Each structure stands twice: as C-alpha cells, then as structure tokens.
C-alpha cells in the first residue's frame, strides 16, 4: 500500500517490500496510429511509492553510472517529501535537460543497472522519477532559472544546439560568461527536434528547455551554418569570441552503397525523420513538406534511430513495417524499451537478414529488397559476433518504402573549413582529456568527437567542456588579451 | 526576421526579392544558394543568390513561381519578412580563366548562371551568353545577363524572338565557328537541357559545368535527399555541388527523382489556389 509522502522514514524492510511500479502507456495498437507520447508519465502517488523504494544508499552506485553525476538519492528523497521543485533543483545542478533525459536516457544500462535493488528484484525506476519531476516543473511554470553569477566579460560560442552544445552553454552561462549558441537549422535542439519523434520526445519539451537556456542569458542564433555563414576563425578573430565549443554532431547519413539505393522511396533515416519530426510532414497538407507514406516499409538497421523510423512508418499508415537487421535480436543496440514498444505496435522483425539490392519498378519506385540470411561467426572489433552471409539464402521482401538507418558519421563542413583542426581518419575531431582540440581556445564534444552516441554522453561532454573552458578562460587567457 | 527590403515582378511569374540578411550577404560567393522557409508551415527550399550587397547587408533572389511555396512567397509585400533563411550553402562556383566561356541559361536557369557569368567576367574571360526559352514571353534577365556578356544570343523554341531553335543549336554554331574558341561551358536550366548540352560538349571535350537542382530539405549534408550520381559515385548536391562536371552526371536519375513528390505538389498548389480564389471572391 502506498504510504503518504510526508518524508516519514520507512524502514529498509518496508522499502524492500515495495515492488517496482509500472509506467502507464497508450495501448500498443492504438498508439501506432498517433504521434502522442507513448509513456504517459507516473501519477503523483505512484511516483512517491516508487521513490520510497530507494534505499538511500550512503555510497550510491547509481550515481557512478550517471554520465553527468546527478545526485540521484538526493532528488529521490525530495520526491518522498513531496517537494518536487527541490528535486528538480537538485537534478539541475548537474543536468539541465531533465525532461529530455528522463525520456531518452538508456537508464537500464547506466544508473538503473547499478541500483542495488536490481540484485534481488527490479531497480528503482530512476528515469521515470526524473521525468516525473521534470514534467511537474514544466507544468507548474515555476520561475525560469536565472543566474546571479558576476559577469566574467568572456564570450564563448557553442556550435550546435543539440544536447552537448546547450549543456555547455547553460553551464558557462551559470558561471557568468556571455554565451551564444549557433544552430544551422531554423529550430534549436539538434537530434532532439529533428531525430527523436514526437511520441518519444515531444518538441514542446525541447522548446521549454530552450526558453530556460535563454533565461540564463544564453543567446541562441538559428540559421547560422558555421563553416559557411561564418567560420570559427571569424568567430574568434572578428566577432570577439574567446572560446569556441564545437558540438555539431555526427549528422552525415551512411548509405549502404547497394544497387537501387537511389530509387524513389528510399530514404536515409535522417531525411525520413527530419521531414516528419522537424518539418511536420505527417500533417501534410497543413504543413507543406511532403513525405511518402509506404504501405509496406522496410527499415534497415537495429539501433534507436531504426526503431524511431519503423514506429513512425506505422503511424503514417503502413500496413506492414519491418525491421531488417543483420545481427541477432540480442545484439541490437536499440534500447530494450524501444524494441519492446515496437513489438507491441505490431512491428515485424527480420533478424539475421541483410539487404543486397533494392529493386524498382518501371516508374522508378521501390518495389522490393533482395535480402540474404546471415549467421553469426567470430566477434568483430565491436565485440559482437560478426554476421556472415549464408550462401544461396537470398530471398525477396516486397516493399514500397525503404529507410536506411545504419548509422551516421561526421559531417565534414566544420572540419574542412577550419584549418589546423585535427581530425582522426573517420573525420571525428581529436581532443585531449580536457576536450581541447588542436587549436587554442577551441574545444569539442558530443558525437563530432565520439561518433554517433547518446544524448546523455553528449551532455556529459558539454558539462566537461564548460569546466575546461572556464579553467582556460581564468588561467590561460590573460585579462585584456 | 529576414525583411523584404524590396520586391518586384521582373517578368512573367518572376519575382526579385531584396532581403536583409547581413551574415549571408557578407559570406556568400557566386554559385552559392540559400535555403528559405517563408512561413511556419512552409517547406525549406533552395534558391540561388543572384546578387549581394554586403555593405547594405542584403541578398537578392530571383524566383520563378512554380508551385505552392513560390506562389505563397510571391504574395509577400515589401516590408514583410520571411521566417528563416540560411546560407550561403554549397561550394562556390569554380571560376578559372578559360579565355572564352559560354554561359547557357534555360528558363529559370538564367538566374543561376547570371552570378557565374559575373564571376567569370571578373576573372578575365570573354563571355558569350545563350539564353533559351520556349517562347518570347518566358525569356528572363536579358538586360542583366546582356550587361556582362561580350556576345549575347537568344533562342526561342517557337522563333518568337531571336534565333529559332534550342540552346544546343546556338552552341553548335559557336563550336563550328572557326573564330570562336569555346574554353568552357557553364550551364543551368531544365535537367534535360543540361543533359543535351553536356552530350554535345562531350564530343568536343569542352569542360562543362552544370548546376543541379535536386529536391532538398536541410541543405547542410545531413539528409542525403539531394543525392546525385556523378561518375558512378553518390554526391550530395548541397555540399559537394550544386555545380558538377556536366559529363559525369546521371541526368536520367535526377530527372526521375525530381518527380518524387509530384502528386503532393499538385495537391498543395491546388488547395492553395482554391483558398486564394475564394478569398478574392469574398473581397
């Protein structure tokens, strides 16, 4: 039975007796027809009950798993005391995008996997609690964060308004620096707005966080393509920026280079999702950007982006939406929750399958994919067993839309227009332990350094970069220079 | 945000916009384009920058009305603002000293070759311009292009003005002319036109630069929607182009991919025209 959340200390035994709560969800088939959020959020009493499950460990293992080091037991305690705004403030000491991370972090591999409760039962639902607190804060319209820090007189430019860029900007602003975030698109947020669909990350949540950022004094300039509209040298030599943090992501789509990839109806996941999430194509003709609605859709890939794409295709009315993945189910990099949600929505999974050719009809439209079955061999450099084609196992999947979701890499626009910026052989920016690049005053973090990774890792880099930049500005740059 | 400092109709279904965009005006080089999003519901569309005035902080776009978005844009008034413009996108024009450069504009392609012609002229080339259209009324920018050309040839399919024939006929004449040494050809216009110009110049090994116009969304290289096949390799027109070696382009593939959203485009335009008409009748 749920106790009243009055902070009354429960005994460890009482806490251990509480089972992990469930997250209310829209019904699987029903939600596959709309773009509303799948997870509906915890009700207050349920959140309190879940918060009471936390044993308030002295040496919290969960915190070790968090890439930004949130005081997890701290904020959870506040929930049990019904002081949700204090809980939010605790989270915001380390994480300025709690409504985002509470939704998209892979908690099951970060904080929750370390939770001691997981040793004999289910871990505390840290992610759901973070989301509960963040959403409460949004709904209460509590005053937006402000900073009282004395102005340092230093200017920093963040290239990219994705998770790394905005986190760095927020932290630097809180230290009293003048920060401008430059974004190439017309809306800020990066993958949060163009990549992650409405049913997982509503854009209004991201917009709200951008308002918080502005409240801290950060300037966000959209429609600036650094590398073309302005270069990094110009920012530092002409526009007066003391430091630049490069966080433009890994946005270059990877194609499979198989025959038929240019037939009409074949998209990169980036294009497919950007048309729908950023440009509103699922509401055509209310929004002018169109998108092809396939009846039978194949998504090539097994990561979170592939899950987002395949579930989106269902919502656009596909009769059949199929994941085609070359390895086995257990090896899919996608979050378990996303795969589970996809299954509930009726997605078909073709595992150990790889496309070899895309076929088109006489009018140049996709009509099918020739695929080959795979089997698992020895581990490859990533540690996963290598998929090997089974000779003679070719077969045809009929489809009228294909989305290629096999990864992204670094867009060379910034690196190619910034002389002296060292990159590795894959085009990612080389940095030292302090996220410093080969150019003094220029730092980098997020996917442009790591390759395509997660929102929270990018945020961790943003936070670390802010510290490094602050050190650099206070120690290495002489005043008046 | 991106205010229309001036707006004028300069031809049939042809609008010239002078827009306040200081960063773009300063950074843009000939051959580059911008991506425009006029209103909140609008598409993002690529448009060549015809001129800039870096001191005044303005860019000039010359836009033909072809569908819903360009029609809606043409109804903006001077003083109003487009919501979003980003640029300059694409690689700047590759400009060299060829001696004599033949610049060919077909239809709206003339607005694309105009900045190229200006740049080639500044680089010391003799400019022979050919512009072609189906009929006299569809010719555009004669004065502007004529002003930077040493020789200026107009072709119309129906012979209503200038030479009767296609731009390739005029080009063939130049190539055959012993007094003319065509060093390079720069060409923009309907894909089929660029294809046939390139097939012609290939026979004579004349370097040919075409400006491709695939459908785009972001313009920054992140979506691959504008992918074209050049010499058997996939390139993105927004970051590797928009100019490419005319002899290496798979034109048929580009022409086909341009039809991807045809039924949506027709639907959108039809809906807009219908709504627009009703409003007119109510007035």
Contact across the interface for B86 and A292, Cβ inside 8 Å? no
Is the pLDDT confidence value at A229 over 70? yes
Q: What is the mean pLDDT of chain A?
A: 93
Neighbours of A413 (CB within 10 A): 21
C-alpha–C-alpha distance, residues A255 and A408, integer Å = 9
- Of residues A184, A257, A284, nearest to B220 (C-beta): A184
C-alpha–C-alpha distance, residues B56 and A45, integer Å = 61
What does residue B41 show for φ and ψ, rounded to 5 degrees? Answer: -90, 0
Q: Which pLDDT score, from 0 to 100, does residue B1 have?
A: 84
Mean pLDDT of B190-216: 97
Write the CA distances from B187 to A97, A300, A408, B31, B240, integer angstroms.
49, 38, 34, 12, 17
Pairing of strands B100-106, B126-133: parallel
Mean pLDDT of A456-472: 95
Determine contact, residues A412/A278, Cβ cutoff 8 Å.
no
Write the CA distances from A183 to A121, A252, B9, B36, integer angstroms.
44, 16, 33, 15
Q: Which helix (H) or strand (E) holds B7?
A: strand B2-11
Neighbours of A308 (CB within 10 A): 27
CB-CB neighbors (< 8 A) of B217 in chain A: 271, 274-275, 279, 289
- Of residues B37, B88, B229, nearest to A262 (C-beta): B229
- Of residues A184, A224, A284, nearest to B264 (C-beta): A284
- Which among B224, B226, B234, B257 is the top mutation candidate for probing chain A, defined by the most A β-carbons within 10 Å of its own β-carbon? B224
First to last CA, chain B: 29
Q: How many Cβ pairs within 8 Å bridge chains A and B?
A: 111
Is the pLDDT confidence value at A48 over 60? yes
Determine contact, residues A463/A171, Cβ cutoff 8 Å.
yes
Non-local CB neighbours of A48 within 8 Å, separated by 6+ positions: A2, A3, A5, A79, A80, A82
Cα A4 from chain centroid?
Answer: 35
Written as six digits, the tokens of A75 are: 């904020």
Q: Which pLDDT score, from 0 to 100, does residue A20 have?
A: 93
Contact across the interface for A229 and B24, Cβ inside 8 Å? yes
CB-CB neighbors (< 8 A) of B85 in chain A: 223
C-alpha–C-alpha distance, residues A210 and A216, integer Å = 10
Q: Which pLDDT score, from 0 to 100, does residue A480 have?
A: 47
Is the pLDDT confidence value at B282 over 70? no
pLDDT digits (tens, 9 = 90+) for A94-116: 888 999 999 999 999 999 999 99
Contact across the interface for B221 and A229, Cβ inside 8 Å? no
Per-residue confidence band for A1, with pLDDT thresholds at 50, 70 and 90? very low
What does residue B88 show for φ and ψ, rounded to 5 degrees? Answer: -80, 140
Question: Is the CB of B229 inside 8 Å of chain A's CB atoms?
Answer: yes
Q: Which pLDDT score, from 0 to 100, does residue B140 have?
A: 87
Q: Which pLDDT score, from 0 to 100, does residue A88 have?
A: 93
- Which among A203, A228, A283 is the top mutation candidate for probing chain B, defined by the most B β-carbons within 10 Å of its own β-carbon? A228
Write the CA distances from A336 to A25, A107, A202, A405, B281, integer angstroms.
15, 10, 20, 18, 57
Is the pLDDT confidence value at B24 over 80? yes
Half-sphere exposure of B217 (CA within 13 A, CB side): 26
What does residue A395 show for φ and ψ, rounded to 5 degrees? Answer: -150, 165
Q: Which helix (H) or strand (E) holds B53?
A: strand B45-53
Q: Which pLDDT score, from 0 to 100, does residue B275 have?
A: 87
Question: Is the CB of B245 inside 8 Å of chain A's CB atoms?
Answer: no
Q: Which pLDDT score, from 0 to 100, does residue A80 have?
A: 96
Cα B174 from chain centroid?
Answer: 23
Is the pLDDT confidence value at A314 over 60? yes
The single residue listed with the structure tokens 């843009």 is B28
pLDDT digits (tens, 9 = 90+) for A268-296: 999 999 999 999 999 999 999 999 999 99
Q: Which pLDDT score, from 0 to 100, does residue A7 have?
A: 52
Buried b or exposed e, range A212-242, using 16+ CB within 10 angstroms: bbeebbbebebbbbbbbbbbbeebbeeeebb
Q: Which pLDDT score, from 0 to 100, does residue A56 have?
A: 95
Q: Which pLDDT score, from 0 to 100, does residue B138 have?
A: 86
For chain A, list the domains and their CATH numbers.
2-140 (1.10.1060.10), 155-250+410-479 (3.50.50.60), 253-408 (3.50.50.60)
Is the pLDDT confidence value at A365 over 90? yes
Is the pLDDT confidence value at B280 over 80? no
Residue window 66-85, chain B: list those with CB within 8 Å of chain A: 68-69, 83-85
When mean pLDDT is compared across A66-70, A307-311, B5-9, B206-210, the lowest value belongs to A66-70
pLDDT digits (tens, 9 = 90+) for A390-403: 999 999 999 999 99
Q: What is the mean pLDDT of chain B?
A: 94
Is the pLDDT confidence value at A477 over 90? no
Written as six digits, the tokens of B148 are: 């930077």
Per-residue confidence band for B277, with pLDDT thresholds at 50, 70 and 90? confident
pLDDT digits (tens, 9 = 90+) for B234-250: 999 999 999 999 999 99
Write the CA distances from A41 to A25, A32, A48, A237, A275, integer angstroms.
8, 18, 13, 48, 27
Q: Report percent pLDDT > 70 for chain B.
A: 98
CB-CB neighbors (< 8 A) of B41 in chain A: 280, 286-288
Q: Which pLDDT score, from 0 to 100, does residue A3 have?
A: 43
Q: Which pLDDT score, from 0 to 100, does residue A385 have?
A: 87
When mean pLDDT is compared across A2-11, A200-209, A256-265, A436-445, the lowest value belongs to A2-11
pLDDT digits (tens, 9 = 90+) for B151-173: 999 999 999 999 999 999 999 99
Q: Which pLDDT score, from 0 to 100, does residue A146 have?
A: 87
Question: What single string gives the DSSP state of each residue in B63-118?
Answer: EE--SHHHHHHHT--TT-EESEEEEEESPPP-----SEEEEEEETTHHHHHHHHHH
Mean pLDDT of A345-359: 97
CB-CB neighbors (< 8 A) of B261 in chain A: 290, 292
With an 8 Å Cβ cutoff, the interface of chain A facing chain B consists of 184-186, 222-225, 228-230, 251-253, 255, 257, 261-262, 264-265, 267-268, 270-271, 274-275, 279-280, 284-290, 292, 364, 411-413
* Chain B residue nearest residue A235, CA to CA: B23
Q: Which helix (H) or strand (E) holds B194?
A: helix B191-203
Q: Which pLDDT score, from 0 to 100, does residue A479 have?
A: 53
* Cα Rg of chain B (Å, integer): 19
Half-sphere exposure of B274 (CA within 13 A, CB side): 6
Per-residue confidence band for A145, with pLDDT thresholds at 50, 70 and 90? confident
Pairing of strands A296-300, A401-404: parallel
Q: Which pLDDT score, from 0 to 100, does residue A471 have?
A: 96
Is the pLDDT confidence value at B279 over 60? no
Contact across the interface for A288 and B225, Cβ inside 8 Å? no
Torsion angle in degrees (nearest 10) through CA of A301, A306, A312, A316:
-20
Q: Report percent pLDDT > 90 for chain A.
A: 85
C-alpha–C-alpha distance, residues A23 and B220, integer Å = 39
Q: Report percent pLDDT > 90 for chain B.
A: 90
CB-CB neighbors (< 8 A) of A262 in chain B: 227, 229, 234, 253, 257
pLDDT digits (tens, 9 = 90+) for B97-135: 999 999 999 988 998 999 999 999 999 999 999 999 989
Non-local CB neighbours of A318 within 8 Å, separated by 6+ positions: A293, A294, A295, A296, A297, A401
Is the pLDDT confidence value at A478 over 70? no
Q: Which pLDDT score, from 0 to 100, does residue A476 have?
A: 76
* Chain A residue nearest residue B44, CA to CA: A289
What value of ipTM does the predicted structure carry? 0.94
């Amino acid at each position: 039975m749920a106790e009243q959340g009055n902070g009354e200390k429960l005994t460890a035994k009482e806490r251990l007796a509480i089972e992990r709560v469930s997250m209310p969800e829209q019904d699987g088939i029903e939600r596959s027809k709309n773009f509303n959020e799948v997870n509906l959020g915890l009700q207050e009493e349920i959140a309190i009950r879940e918060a009471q499950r936390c044993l308030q460990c002295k040496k919290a293992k969960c915190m070790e798993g968090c890439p930004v080091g949130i005081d997890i037991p701290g904020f959870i305690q506040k929930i049990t005391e019904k002081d949700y705004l204090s809980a939010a403030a605790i989270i915001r000491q380390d994480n300025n995008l709690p409504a985002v991370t509470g939704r998209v972090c892979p908690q099951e591999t970060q904080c929750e996997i370390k939770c001691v409760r997981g040793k004999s039962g289910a871990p505390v639902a840290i992610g759901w609690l973070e989301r509960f607190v963040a959403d409460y804060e949004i709904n209460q319209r509590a005053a937006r964060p402000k900073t009282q820090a004395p102005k340092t007189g230093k200017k920093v430019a963040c290239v990219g308004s994705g998770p790394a860029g905005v986190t760095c900007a927020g932290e630097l602003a809180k230290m009293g620096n003048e920060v401008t975030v430059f974004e190439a698109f017309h809306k800020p947020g990066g993958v949060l707005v163009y990549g992650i669909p409405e049913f997982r990350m509503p854009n209004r949540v991201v917009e709200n966080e951008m308002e918080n950022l502005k409240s801290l004094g950060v300037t966000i300039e959209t429609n600036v393509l650094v590398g073309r509209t302005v270069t990094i040298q110009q920012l530092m030599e002409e526009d007066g920026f003391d430091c630049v943090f490069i966080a433009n992501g890994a946005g270059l789509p990877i194609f499979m280079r198989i025959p038929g990839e240019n037939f009409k109806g074949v998209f990169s996941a980036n294009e497919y999702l950007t048309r729908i999430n950023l440009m509103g194509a699922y509401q055509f003709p209310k929004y002018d950007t169109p998108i092809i609605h396939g009846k039978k859709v194949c998504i090539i890939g097994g990561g979170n982006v592939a899950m987002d794409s395949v579930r989106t295709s269902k919502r656009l009315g596909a009769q059949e939406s199929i994941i085609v993945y070359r390895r086995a189910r257990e090896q899919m990099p996608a979050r378990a929750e996303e795969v589970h949600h996809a299954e509930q929505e009726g997605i078909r999974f073709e595992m150990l399958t790889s496309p070899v050719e895309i076929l088109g009809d006489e009018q140049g439209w996709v009509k099918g994919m020739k695929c080959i079955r795979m089997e698992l061999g020895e581990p490859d450099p990533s540690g996963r067993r290598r998929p090997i084609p089974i000779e003679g196992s070719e077969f045809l999947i009929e489809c009228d839309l294909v989305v290629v979701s096999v990864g992204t890499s670094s867009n060379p626009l910034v690196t190619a227009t910034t002389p002296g910026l060292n990159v590795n052989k894959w085009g990612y920016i080389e940095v030292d332990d302090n996220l410093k690049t080969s150019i003094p005053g220029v730092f980098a973090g997020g996917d442009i350094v790591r390759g395509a990774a997660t929102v929270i890792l990018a945020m961790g880099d943003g936070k670390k970069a802010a510290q490094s930049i602050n050190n650099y500005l206070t120690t290495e740059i002489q005043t008046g220079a | 945000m991106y205010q229309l400092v001036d707006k004028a109709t300069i031809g049939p279904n042809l609008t010239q916009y002078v827009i306040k965009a200081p960063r773009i005006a300063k950074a843009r080089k000939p051959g580059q384009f911008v991506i425009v999003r006029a209103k909140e519901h609008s598409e993002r569309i690529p448009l060549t920058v015809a001129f800039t005035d870096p001191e005044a902080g303005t860019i000039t776009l010359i836009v033909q009305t072809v569908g819903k978005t360009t029609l809606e844009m043409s109804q903006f008034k001077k003083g109003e603002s487009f919501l979003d413009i980003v640029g300059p996108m694409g690689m700047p024009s590759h400009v060299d000293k060829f001696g004599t450069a033949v610049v060919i504009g077909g239809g709206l392609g003339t607005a694309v070759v105009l900045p190229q012609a200006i740049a080639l002229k500044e680089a010391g080339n003799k400019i022979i311009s050919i512009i072609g259209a189906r009929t006299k009324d569809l010719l555009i920018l004669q004065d502007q292009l004529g002003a930077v050309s040493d020789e200026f040839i107009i072709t119309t399919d129906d012979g209503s003005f200038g030479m009767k024939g296609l731009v390739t006929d005029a080009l063939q004449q130049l190539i055959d002319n012993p007094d003319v040494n065509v060093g390079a050809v720069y060409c923009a216009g309907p894909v089929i036109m660029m294809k046939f110009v390139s097939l012609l110049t290939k026979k004579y090994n004349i370097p040919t630069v075409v400006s491709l116009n695939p459908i785009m969304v972001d313009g920054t290289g992140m979506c691959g929607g504008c992918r074209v096949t050049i010499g058997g390799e996939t390139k993105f027109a927004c970051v590797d182009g928009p100019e490419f070696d005319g002899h290496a382009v798979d034109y048929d593939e580009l022409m086909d991919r341009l039809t991807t959203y045809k039924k949506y485009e027709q639907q959108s335009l039809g809906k807009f025209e219908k709504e627009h008409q009703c409003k007119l009748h109510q007035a």
